[in-house]
Amino acid sequence: MGYSFLITAREGLEAGLIVAIVLGYLARTDQRRYWPHILLGTALALVGSVAVGAALEATASELSGKAQEAFEGGAMLFAVAVLTSMIFWMKRQASTMGAHMRQRVDVAIRSGSALALALLAFTAVGREGLETVLFLFAGTSGSGSSLLYWGGAGAGLAVAAAMAWVVYAGSARLPLRSFFNFTGVMLIVLAAGLLVNGMKELHEIGATPDLGPRLWDTYTILADNSEIGRFMATIFGYDSSPLLGQVVAYTGYLALTLTLFAAGRGRPAPPAAAPAAAAMTGDAVPALEGKHG
Amino acid sequence: MRWPAIAGLTGVALLLTGCSLTTVSGGQEIEIVAGERADGSMYFEPAEVTVPVEAEVTFVVRNKGQADHEFESGQKGEAGIEEVLVPADRVRRINWKAPSEPGVYPVYCDLPGHRAAGMEITLRVVEQP
């Protein structure tokens, strides 16, 4: 539940901020007539993301045995790569995102194409949606109760929607930088857990090199397949008898990424590269610069 | 300051020692032994297990072999026993509730080559005697 809540709260807020900022900017510049295009693009992105998530789940459930474990393990490692790059990309871009998003809106409006505006919302929100379904899919195999898991995801979305609304309404100044820094650290911890869970899946089917001996056994203290054990496995990649390779990967990943994150390795993107990056990926935290609408 | 700390430590101690949230227990225990034979084949013993419908069971799987093994019956149409890895020379416990209808299900180790080497038992769910 904690995992799914954190994922949807963070990703949902990124998507929500995009919509809030664009709608706010259009309202402020007396161009509310373009709202339906933005809302249409957003709705299509959400539907598309859910469809991709359903396809991932359907594909995994159709597979069995080795193929299923390979698919799930591969998805986990892919999610770690995407999650890690997203966290650092976000840290680099956060301070300039608002301006880039508004630039993109201006360009779309000047082009005179309603489709361009809808496409802008579709690509920006769709990116966040695809990340969300990938991370949620990667976490499902370790979750115990599916009711709690999806309940947590729903609660995270509700929190994200509420925060995005607050930003749009301009009724309060949210500590967004602190929020993204905090969730960034939490996501790094989650990604470390996903990393070892993915390694475990792939090791079971013999798709990894020898990961060494099992270092200890804490099953009698906390069983992997107990209620709390499952939770710990999802959040921290808990394994009661981990292999040497898993322990090295976990500690190495955490040490490296947390150090880089704390050191603020995310230098601001060069001006020439920023619009291109924005166009490719969709910006997410324009409100870091202040309130809009 | 002391009381909250004592209460917190007590809570953690309770959680980590006897609490059902951290351990797997509760049903009628059925011992299963896993391992490998000198001829290269692998086994679960006993080769057949019979339980009544809706019985609450705890499989206690003891791996006496040199290799890791799994214990599961979780694919579509199977018994719904979650996959649990049992490292060499370790014991793992799995809770399971039998279906409400009689049936026959395979329980097996899904690690590459293990099922083909003999690691499959038959789980029979029968009407209450």
**Phi, psi angles (nearest 5°) of residue B123:** -110, 115
Q: What is the model's pLDDT at position B107?
A: 96
Within a domain: residue A292? no
> What residues of chain B lie within 8 A of the CB of A65, using their CB?
75, 110
Nearest residue on chain A to B108, alpha-carbon basis: A65
The whole-angstrom separation of Cα B92 and Cα A162 is 44
Q: Which residue has the higher pLDDT, A252 or A271?
A: A252
Task: Inform me whether the pLDDT recorded for A15 exceeds 70.
Answer: yes
Least confident of A146-150, B19-23, B67-71: B19-23
Q: What is the model's pLDDT at position B11?
A: 60
Question: Which of A1-5, A82-86, A244-248 is predicted most confidently?
Answer: A244-248
Task: Inform me whether the pLDDT recorded for A289 exceeds 60.
Answer: no
Residue B32 CB neighbour total at 10 angstroms: 20
Q: Tell me which H or E stretch contains B52.
A: strand B48-52
- How confident is the model over A128-132, as a mean pLDDT? 89
Instruction: Give how far B115 is from chain A: nearest CA, Å.
Output: 11
The whole-angstrom separation of Cα A114 and Cα B65 is 67
B41 in contact with A, Cβ within 8 Å: no
Distances (CA, A) of A242 to A107, A127, A185, A247: 53, 34, 23, 7
Within a domain: residue A282? no
Q: Which residue has the higher pLDDT, B40 or B14?
A: B40
**Amino acid residing at A190:** L
- How confident is the model over A78-83, as a mean pLDDT? 90
Question: Which of A135-139, A191-195, B1-5, B74-78 is predicted most confidently?
Answer: A191-195
DSSP secondary-structure letter at A266?
Answer: -
**A226·B110 Cβ contact <8 A:** no
Burial class (CB in 10 A: 0-12, 13-18, 19+), B44: buried
A219 in contact with B, Cβ within 8 Å: yes
Q: Shortest CB distance from A228 goes to which of B21, B85, B90?
A: B21
- How confident is the model over A49-56, as a mean pLDDT? 91
Which residues are bridge partners to B58 per DSSP?
A: B29, B95
Among A252, A293, A78, smallest CA distance to A166 is for: A293
Mean per-residue pLDDT of chain A: 81
Residue A10 CB neighbour total at 10 angstroms: 27
- How confident is the model over A82-89, as a mean pLDDT? 85
Q: What is the model's pLDDT at position B12?
A: 60
Q: pLDDT band at A288, cuts 50/70/90?
A: very low
For A182, the domain range is 2-265
The whole-angstrom separation of Cα A282 and Cα A108 is 13
Taking the CA atoms of chain A, what radius of gyration do you get in angstroms? 20
Mean per-residue pLDDT of chain B: 87
Q: Are A104 and A293 within 8 A, CB to CB?
A: no
Q: Looking at the 3D structure of chain A, how many domains does it have? A: 1
pLDDT digits 0-9 by tens, B70-94: 999 988 789 989 889 999 999 999 9
Q: What is the model's pLDDT at position A283?
A: 37
B112 in contact with A, Cβ within 8 Å: yes
Q: How many residues does chain A have?
A: 293
Task: Inform me whether the pLDDT recorded for A112 exceeds 80.
Answer: no
Q: Are A2 and A152 within 8 A, CB to CB?
A: yes
Q: What is the model's pLDDT at position B19?
A: 56
pLDDT above 70 covers a percentage of chain A that reads 85
pLDDT digits 0-9 by tens, A215-234: 999 999 999 888 888 888 87
Instruction: Give how far B38 is from chain A: nearest CA, Å.
Output: 22
Task: Inform me whether the pLDDT recorded for A282 exceeds 60.
Answer: no
Within a domain: residue A83? yes
B117 in contact with A, Cβ within 8 Å: no
- The b-or-e profile of A125-159 (16+ CB within 10 A means b, else e) is bbbbbbbbbbbbbbbbbbbbeeeebbebbeebbeb
> What residues of chain B lie within 8 A of the CB of A204, using their CB?
70, 85, 110-111
Among A126, A178, A142, A150, smallest CA distance to A11 is for: A126
Distances (CA, A) of A24 to A27, A102, B31, B47, B53: 5, 10, 65, 68, 60
Map tokens 């026959």 to a residue.
Answer: B104
Q: Are A125 and A41 within 8 A, CB to CB?
A: yes
